[in-house]
């Protein structure tokens, strides 16, 4: 294919360049039109359409695991069942784009490869490549708003199992689901027991001969009806949907606060409740101790919600089963386990997660120097030292991602307005002299949240300090009060200054 160099053309200029048209990027576009009207902005998206996660995932049953009242936008009521399919989420996002005239701001098939900051011009220069033609375009922007998500789409994480190449059946990854995969009447083994496995398994049970969930160690699950009582009551009373949305959000957040607090204050009691529910669903003879009793505190890893307990009803009916063991190696016909047991399978699904992407795998340069993100320090998970005029979204692990996307978008709009009023062209963050003794560590502490995809990728992520301003706290209930109250003239903000070395 012929490569057209970005240098051949004059760059197009925007006030703000938004990376990605997933839930975060579309949210940013909405808030920019409402809170900073007149701002010239563009959203560059690598895919051919919007949706991000909800577009790229194709495995059977793909659905949210948090409720759409809080995962949905605060400005657009969610009127369906709380746990939604990818299709429903895409339709909802499409309505947001149409109702707010956002389509004209989005350019699809633009994968950003590099972003270069010049302090003398107060500008980012961004190069985007069109995946199908190889054509490159250049843009300049005063601000970058990073809505790139947190993992590489369509690229699963494959552990290095011995003799994988000798397996003669079909091997697929949940992140790379083939468009036409026929699994009717097949013996299927799904490796993994996170939210993805818990979704795929019940959704394959209708057609497959049998589905086995193979896990190295147990995970916590929550089950319940795919409905929220207060929303149902309010709807029965014919309350306006915008009120239903707001009140239901408040109720959910209230309940989540109480639940999260309990996982820290009385982990054993919470553990017993979660496991007790599984015991009730699977009956007294089921080996709950072996298959559904995790060794860690609840919420140290994301707790998957299983709507209508569909995973467990399929296990109870014998259509699915669980094996807790480790893989010794692949064989011609399946998997040999460390216990010596062998699992035969026509189809093996690796639901083993993904690889993180740090800031969209974009190569950053500031004033001629390459920036390694791991040499930067996070400012509340929204900005980084050494990267001026750049704000990024990374959501919550224990609450819906969009709650944070909203807080970050509000912060960004407030910051831009402040800079316009004060005539500042550049803003960077840096700890002050009183923070000279601050301890610097990993972006997320192992004690707080420790899934494998994060542990594998900490070397790619910014670092964190031992003070809340210099951490990504993962605490919505703190952020919702603190972020709107940030003093934009505080000592951590340096306007029109020299960009300091990241750390």
Under the binding rule (CB under 6 A), the answer on residue 112 touching ligand FAD is yes
Q: How many residues bind ligand FAD (CB under 6 A)?
A: 33
**Coil, helix or strand at residue 269:** helix
- Closest distance to ligand FAD from the beta carbon of 86 (Å): 8
Q: Which phi and psi (to 5°) does residue 380 adopt?
A: 50, 25
Given the rule CB under 6 A, which of 106-114, 232-240, 263-271, 484-492 is the region that contacts ligand FAD?
106-114
Question: Structure tokens of 82?
Answer: 């709380």
> Quick one: which of 456, 194, 209, 183 has its CA closest to 351?
194
Contact pick of 35, 39, 53, 333 for ligand FAD (by CB under 6 A): 53
Neighbours of 188 (CB within 10 A): 24
Neighbours of 341 (CB within 10 A): 11
Given the rule CB under 6 A, which of 110-118, 446-454, 456-464, 470-478 is the region that contacts ligand FAD?
110-118
Strand partners, 384: 378
Which residue lies nearer to ligand FAD by CB, 293 or 402? 402
**Which 128-167 residues touch ligand FAD, going by CB under 6 A?**
147-149, 153
Which residue lies nearer to ligand FAD by CB, 430 or 454? 454
- Closest distance to ligand FAD from the beta carbon of 340 (Å): 34
| Separation CA 28–CA 469 (nearest Å) | 22
**Which 349-368 residues touch ligand FAD, going by CB under 6 A?**
360-362
- Closest distance to ligand FAD from the beta carbon of 338 (Å): 29
SS (H, E, C) 214-281: EECCCCCEEEECCCCHHHHHHHHCCCCHHHHHHHHHHHHHHHHHHHHHHHHHCHHHHHHHHHHHHHHH
**Which 23-42 residues touch ligand FAD, going by CB under 6 A?**
23-25
| Separation CA 67–CA 478 (nearest Å) | 20
- Closest distance to ligand FAD from the beta carbon of 357 (Å): 6
CA angle, 13 as apex, 358 and 409 as ends, to 5°?
Answer: 50
Under the binding rule (CB under 6 A), the answer on residue 6 touching ligand FAD is no
Which residue lies nearer to ligand FAD by CB, 46 or 311? 46
Cβ–Cβ < 8 Å for 82, 69: yes
Which residue lies nearer to ligand FAD by CB, 133 or 339? 133
Under the binding rule (CB under 6 A), the answer on residue 66 touching ligand FAD is yes
Which residue lies nearer to ligand FAD by CB, 50 or 330? 50
Which residue lies nearer to ligand FAD by CB, 23 or 213? 23
**Which 386-405 residues touch ligand FAD, going by CB under 6 A?**
393, 395, 400-401
DSSP characters over 410-427: HHHHHHHHHHHHHT---E
- Closest distance to ligand FAD from the beta carbon of 105 (Å): 14
Contact pick of 6, 22, 228, 416 for ligand FAD (by CB under 6 A): 22
> Quick one: which of 147, 150, 146, 203 has its CA closest to 174?
203
Under the binding rule (CB under 6 A), the answer on residue 219 touching ligand FAD is no
> Quick one: which of 482, 444, 404 has its CA closest to 27?
404
Which residue lies nearer to ligand FAD by CB, 153 or 500? 153
Neighbours of 268 (CB within 10 A): 9
Contact pick of 69, 111, 398, 472 for ligand FAD (by CB under 6 A): 111
Question: Structure tokens of 499?
Answer: 């960009």
- Closest distance to ligand FAD from the beta carbon of 434 (Å): 33
| Separation CA 336–CA 39 (nearest Å) | 59
Which residue lies nearer to ligand FAD by CB, 175 or 492? 175
Which residue lies nearer to ligand FAD by CB, 292 or 354? 354
Contact pick of 17, 18, 31, 45 for ligand FAD (by CB under 6 A): 45
Contact pick of 17, 28, 44, 115 for ligand FAD (by CB under 6 A): 44
Which residue lies nearer to ligand FAD by CB, 109 or 207? 109
Which residue lies nearer to ligand FAD by CB, 270 or 303? 303
| Separation CA 110–CA 42 (nearest Å) | 11
DSSP annotation of 8: G
Q: Please name the residues in contact with 35: beta carbons below 8 A apart, sequence gap of 6 or more.
A: 409, 410, 413, 414, 417
| Separation CA 129–CA 383 (nearest Å) | 25
| Separation CA 156–CA 28 (nearest Å) | 28
| Separation CA 127–CA 493 (nearest Å) | 28
What does the binding site for ligand FAD look like in residue numbers (CB under 6 A)? 19-25, 44-47, 52-53, 57, 64-66, 71, 110-112, 147-149, 153, 196, 360-362, 393, 395, 400-401
């Amino acid at each position: 294919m012929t490569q057209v160099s970005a240098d051949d053309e004059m760059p197009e200029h925007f006030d703000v360049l938004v990376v990605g048209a997933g839930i975060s990027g579309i949210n940013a576009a909405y808030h920019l039109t409402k809170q900073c009207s007149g701002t010239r902005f563009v959203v560059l998206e690598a895919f051919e359409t919007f949706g991000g996660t909800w577009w790229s995932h194709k495995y059977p049953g793909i659905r949210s695991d948090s409720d759409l009242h809080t995962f949905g936008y605060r400005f657009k009521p969610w009127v369906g069942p709380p746990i939604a399919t990818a299709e429903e989420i895409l339709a909802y996002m499409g309505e947001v784009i149409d109702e707010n005239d956002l389509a004209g701001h989005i350019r699809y098939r633009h994968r950003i490869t590099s972003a270069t900051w010049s302090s003398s011009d107060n500008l980012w220069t961004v190069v985007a490549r069109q995946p199908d033609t190889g054509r490159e375009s250049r843009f300049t922007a005063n601000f970058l708003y990073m809505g790139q998500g947190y993992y590489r789409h369509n690229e699963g994480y494959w552990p290095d199992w011995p003799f994988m190449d000798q397996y003669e059946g079909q091997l697929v990854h949940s992140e790379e689901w083939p468009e036409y995969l026929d699994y009717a009447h097949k013996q299927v083994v799904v490796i993994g027991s996170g939210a993805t496995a818990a979704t795929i398994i019940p959704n394959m049970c209708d057609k497959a001969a049998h589905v086995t969930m193979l896990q190295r160690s147990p995970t916590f699950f929550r089950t319940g009806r795919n409905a929220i009582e207060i929303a149902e009551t309010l709807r029965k009373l014919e309350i306006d949907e915008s009120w239903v949305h707001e009140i239901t959000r408040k109720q959910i957040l209230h309940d989540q606060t109480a639940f999260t607090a309990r996982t820290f204050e009385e982990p054993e009691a919470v553990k017993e409740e979660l496991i007790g529910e599984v015991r009730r669903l699977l009956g007294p003879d089921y080996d709950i101790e072996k298959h559904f009793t995790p060794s860690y505190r609840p919420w140290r890893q994301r707790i998957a919600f299983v709507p209508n307990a569909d995973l467990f009803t399929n296990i109870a009916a014998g259509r699915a089963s669980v094996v807790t063991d480790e893989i010794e190696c692949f064989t011609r016909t399946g998997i040999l386990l460390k216990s010596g047991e062998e699992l035969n399978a026509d189809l093996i699904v690796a639901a083993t997660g993904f690889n993180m992407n740090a800031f969209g795998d974009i190569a950053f340069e500031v004033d001629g120097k390459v920036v390694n993100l791991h040499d930067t320090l996070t400012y509340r998970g929204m900005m980084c030292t050494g990267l001026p005029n750049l704000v990024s979204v990374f959501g919550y692990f224990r609450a819906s991602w969009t709650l944070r996307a909203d807080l970050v978008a509000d912060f960004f709009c407030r910051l831009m307005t402040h800079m316009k009023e004060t005539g500042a062209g550049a803003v960077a963050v840096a700890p002050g002299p009183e923070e000279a003794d601050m301890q610097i560590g990993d972006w997320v502490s192992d004690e707080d949240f420790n899934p494998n995809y994060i542990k594998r990728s900490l070397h790619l992520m910014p670092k964190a300090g031992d003070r809340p301003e210099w951490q990504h706290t993962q605490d919505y209930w703190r952020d919702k009060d603190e972020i709107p109250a940030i003093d934009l003239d505080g000592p951590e903000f340096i306007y029109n200054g020299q960009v300091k070395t990241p750390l």
